[in-house]
Amino acid sequence: MATPAATAAPSVPPSLSLPPSQFARLQPHAYLLAHLCPPSASNQPSIRANGRAPSQFRVTSANAGSLTHTNGSAVVRIGDTAAVCGVRAELLHTEDIASWSVSQASGSNKRRRLADLGGKPSEEEDDEDTEEDRAHIEDLNLLVPNLSLSTGCAPGFIPGAAPSALAQSLSHQILSLLHSTRLVRADDLRVWYQPPNLGPEEPERHNEDEPMDMDAEQSATAEEKPREIKAFWVLYIDIMIISLAGNPFDAAWAAVLAALRDTKLPKAWWDVDNETIVCSDSVADARKLSLRGLPVSSSFGVFEADAAAGWRAHVIPDVTEQEQKGKKGSPERWILADPDGYEEGLIQERASIVVDKEKDGKTTIVRMEKNGGWTVDTEDLRQLVEISGRRWDEMKRILDQC
């Protein structure tokens, strides 16, 4: 730690020499650059100021079931960034949904058929189910994530203040990712009711029917009595960032994922006599959510050697020029995985990739974002997707253990 500081500021007289920590505060850009690009005389490897290799993530730990009053909860810690997530389920009666009777009239047959197949829906079924899932989860707002940064997690965020723009946009990102990955199955959130078949004694049915083929009609009613949805579970997903040291999105998303994997919904059914929903007390009756896949997010930041590159108009190289420079070796920029708080202050260009892996080990990209600069292009993104794939394996191991 002491050497880069000494080499970067050799002309400072001994009486004014600074300890590395102060140099890091005064000249953050030069400090990180000296670590990443050590002078060739000293045989030091290129390493980040926090001792990590450029593509190395921080130590991650996850712990599920930490809160007792929630249906599912998790604490995820990535380095010094810690997120707590709690999932609370509440019932939404279909009679409280204003447009329910109208929207439900269409396509109720299809829904029943799909639901009847039950168990683990196969792949081809998934596609058919999609539209129904989307309609229920998105239109009825069954997932309500909220992220709070006003916990005193970092000096910049005043405790108890109104949600900052960052907190709001993180909440939105989580909701939008929950919707686009279709992580939660709508079928897990439905509470069904199967009206009992009262047979031919059902008075009005008997009278209205044309007396053509009574036997066939009876067997048909026995089967065709449609099940109805009586209520939905609404999942309130609350995330508190209790310590913020860079990269809040990865930590928050990992916490949401771990908490949803931990979530157990009590067995609920429609009580005809009381005309209400009743839940079972027994833990044995509760069932877990069956999530679709395991999308894992990894964020990256680009640290540029030339701090002025961002604003000097004439240094912007043409694409061809840039390629030639890249071939010459000695990169002018470093892509840092999982930037911490110190590095985030020096970074303008960011990339965030969410990947999922199928059973055959094939990597699927679920979301890919890149913004704030012009240095990252196809080749870099390809590498980042590879790194994210490796991160997926690591996160899966961590989440399976918790």
- Which positions lie near other proteins, rule CB under 8 A? 138, 141, 143, 165-166, 168-169, 171-173, 175-176, 178-180, 310-311, 313, 316, 318-319, 348-350, 356, 362-378, 381-382, 385
User: Quick one: 218 or 348, whose CB is closer to other proteins?
Assistant: 348
Burial level of 282, CB count in 10 A (0-12/13-18/19+)? exposed
Closest distance between other proteins and the C-beta of residue 322, in Å? 8
User: Quick one: 294 or 402, whose CB is closer to other proteins?
Assistant: 294
User: Quick one: 281 or 318, whose CB is closer to other proteins?
Assistant: 318
Instruction: Return d(Cα 263, Cα 118) in angstroms, integer.
Output: 20
Longest distance between any two alpha carbons in the chain, whole Å: 109
User: Quick one: 86 or 145, whose CB is closer to other proteins?
Assistant: 145
User: Quick one: 75 or 175, whose CB is closer to other proteins?
Assistant: 175
Closest distance between other proteins and the C-beta of residue 116, in Å? 25
**Measuring CA to CA, which residue among 354, 343, 348, 351 is closest to residue 174?**
354
Closest distance between other proteins and the C-beta of residue 286, in Å? 27
Closest distance between other proteins and the C-beta of residue 136, in Å? 13
User: Quick one: 279 or 368, whose CB is closer to other proteins?
Assistant: 368
CA angle 58, 59, 62 (to 5 degrees): 125
Closest distance between other proteins and the C-beta of residue 367, in Å? 5
**Polymer length in residues for the chain:** 402
**Measuring CA to CA, which residue among 97, 100, 64, 59 is closest to residue 78?**
59
Instruction: Return d(Cα 262, Cα 73) in angstroms, integer.
Output: 6
Output the DSSP codes for 223-252.
Answer: HH---EEEEEEEEEEEEEEEE-SS-HHHHH
Closest distance between other proteins and the C-beta of residue 355, in Å? 10
Instruction: Return d(Cα 23, Cα 5) in angstroms, integer.
Output: 7
Closest distance between other proteins and the C-beta of residue 284, in Å? 34
Closest distance between other proteins and the C-beta of residue 324, in Å? 14
User: Quick one: 42 or 180, whose CB is closer to other proteins?
Assistant: 180
From the centroid of its chain, how far is CA 97? Answer: 28
Closest distance between other proteins and the C-beta of residue 377, in Å? 5
From the centroid of its chain, how far is CA 297? Answer: 7
Strands (E), 94-171: 143-148
User: Quick one: 83 or 143, whose CB is closer to other proteins?
Assistant: 143
Instruction: Return d(Cα 361, Cα 367) in angstroms, integer.
Output: 18
Instruction: Return d(Cα 38, Cα 8) in angstroms, integer.
Output: 9
User: Quick one: 168 or 221, whose CB is closer to other proteins?
Assistant: 168
Phi-psi region of 258 (alpha: psi -120 to 50; beta: other; left: phi over 0): alpha
Q: What is the DSSP letter of 43?
A: -
